[in-house]
Chain A
Amino acid sequence: MTTQPTNSRRNFLKVAAVTGGGLVLGFNWLEAEAAEPLTVEMMAATNAPAATTAGLGFNSYLSIDPQGIITILSPNPEVGQGIKTAFPIIVAEELDADWTKVVVEQAPLDTKKFERQVAGGSGSIPHSWKRLRTAGATARQMLIEAAAKRWSVPATEITTEKGFVLHSATGKKLSYGELATEAAQIPVPTDVKLKDQKDFKLIGSTIKNVDNPKIITGKPLFGLDFYREGMLFAMLQRPAFGYKLKSVDSKVAKAMSGIVDVVTFGNNVAVVGKSTWQVKKAKDALKIEWEKPAVSESTADHNRLFKELLDSKEATVRRKDGDVDAAFKSAAKVVTAEYQCPFLPHNPLEPMNFFAHVRPDGVELVGPTQTPELARNETAKLLGISPDNVTVQLTRMGGGFGRRLKADYVIEAVQVSKLVNAPVKLIWTREDDMTGGSYRPAVRYRFEAALDAQGNMIGYKLRGVGMNAGNPTREDNFPAGAVDNLLVDSVDYNKTPITTGPWRAPITNFLAFAEQSFFDEVALAAGKDPVQFRLELLDKAKQKPVGAVKYDLDRMKIVIQTAAEKAGWGTKKGADGKLLAQGFSVYFSHRSYVAQIGEVVIQKGKPVLQKVYSVADCGVVVNQSGARQQVTGCIVDGIGHAMYGNLTFKDGVPDQKNFNDYRLIRLHEIPQVEVHFIDNGIEPTGLGEPSLPPAAAAVANAIFKATGKRLRNQPFVEEEAFKGIS
């Protein structure tokens, strides 16, 4: 490969004419962003295969055809977080495109062109914000310069508006389509100016999901909708947790109509056939003997283990400030409470599935995944081939919530395709999906707070113990920095065969509930208003920080104050003239700050969750419609799982297998939700997850206010305290 350092930028913008003479721009957004010219080494790395490009290469692809249709490829997987709408909005904003002329297409996995094709961690917009803007602005500048050349006027006199280039002095006007071919010949500008935020027209407006037309008419979009001529269908019988395959009698299954083969790999038995229903019936007809593990786990075992771990002498210290022992010794009052949550399945409504075709020359993969690169790499590793010989097409996902960050189901499809030497769509039934593992881990927390005579929190201890939970704390989160003597430690029980993984707002989805409920308990013990209690701690951290403070005290303070103001905290009265029972909660996660207030009224002697106010600081809001739904959906999700979500085990087998015995929140159970954003112009931080963690505590604290009953374990419906009030 030859590289020309002196002309580096030119190399990275690959301009090619498409059929019909339009403009196709392939950007390297790293380059567009780089302050210094790239070195030969960096360029080589950027153009090299995937393994070496991480952190360097980032490309996208934008084309304008002579008719003015702008096609924007969206590289990141769409899982319902709205990225397929939000990414193109950012590009189109800086391009000054007419949104009605923008066509959005899902890009396949391409690690040479794109970077971080992942749906996870609420990180897509923060990661790509500047790259996407630069891409749009670069194309806009090229169109301006093409017009300047054609009209022989200075480029500085030219403006753009909604897909047109204008020269006001002469009244000349050309569409982007008309200029596309000429613009393609323009040298790539080296430092484009990004818009002033006040000039944003698309960013911050209300734009509909770009896939709505297909969704509302039932067009094929999702993984399960993918069909290929000659494709076979497959389902697996997997072992329960810790079990091993002993023997399988597939005589009956194999003889059933439409069944092509029954194959085994590892501890799995795969039924392969000509239609989903035939395969499902044959799967049910398998006679399998499993070898039970020496000790098979039940929920009762987990509960016993939690109690042992909470008293373990071998905890991993996560953060230690000051001297907690001395603080607790000198305390005027000590508050202690424990909180626990169960395992949770993700339950995306589209169950796991994937299409795989293992051919002699490579592998074709199509389906729903939050991590296409992982799917590709694990496939390559399994088959001992180069990742370059594996292609991954991304379908829209019927939810994921973290479950599709794993590639286990992709690998299953690959295994089956290889064994039967045919294109295969592997499908999990709902029961497979709910019992198939990778759950939100069960966790228990013990909180202790030491208060002095004035009600100041002088000591704070948190121990988190979990089942395959890794570190179940977020040791540097609030109140770290605000308490002189603090100890956060954890113990993980990693011997359970029950598999766990990220579940929307990993760890914080329950930690926030536990912590924010505990703060309510501490504030009460300290005789302080819960909002004031938190604000005092933030002020203390600001004036005299203890150790490192890794969150923004001011951003947190502002969401707290704004939520209190919006909800009429401490002043709002109900129809009966009495103060409403409100519960407060605030949490920092995925770079964003969200405060929420739940409002409970007593109707016919029972508490009813009437409303949740939410104030989020996620920096610039890209799409009002998508953003508001993310917040609302997070609240519904957070409340629903806190109320009802429960996966229990008997001998390594989940007790709940489908929606008849696993309860998800339904439409009649939702409270009113009022959504606010802090308009501060900060570059976007995360939004797909941060509004979930605080929701449950806002509700539970309001229920406490209304009834005096403290909910410490999830699901609430299983709590004795809740049974007394519901």
Chain B
Amino acid sequence: MASPIEQFQIKTIIPGIGFSNASLFMVATVGVIVGGLLLATSRRAVVPGRAQSVAEMLHDFVANTLVDAAGREGMKFFPLVFSLFMFVLTANMLGMIPGFFTVTSHVIVTFALAMLVIGTVVVYGFMKHGTHFLGLFVPSGVPGWLLPFITVIEVISFLSRPISLSLRLFANMLAGHIALKVFGSFVVGLGSAGIGLAILAPLPLIMAVALTALEFLVAFLQAYVFTVLTCIYLNDALHPGH
């Protein structure tokens, strides 16, 4: 029987340029987003049709999240945040189709996305506020003798942000897909174990169906959490004082 982690194997499709199935599905993700949004907004009707309202809902959803977390001036980061949300959401949802490759179940992909966010925060923070950006690590209203410890903790917490941001998305996708595969192999194993055990085979099948529904929820939720945390980190770059 196939190992549950075999689905994450990267196979090179075009050897010369290192084009693998991961690259193929990243291109497919971008293609689905661009194609879908272009198709949805091609008519640009005043009274939106079905596809156009979905596109408008996605836009308003991300815009509200960004304004709630980072204020009105956070809207200058809207293209970045919307692209991140759409990429993560579409990659997660494409991965839920059986036999498809989940791009976000590879830590290098999510770590690259997280470093993009943290890099934007650091570069923009220093560009806009100069050394005042370092005030992020020195919270006000703390007793003097406690301040060195708090500063060290704040620095460590800032440095662990890209790690936790990337690991959360990666591990959720990885664990979900492994669980689905394990329950799928239970069905096959019980079904081929003889007539006595084969009648039990529908039980893990029901569980696998329920887990698939849960995984769709997790796929959306992790894209949302990634976006909300991105907005909060961008808020630190915009308003570094505590």
Do A and B interact with each other, yes or no? no
Residues of A within 8 A of B (CB): none
Residues of B within 8 A of A (CB): none
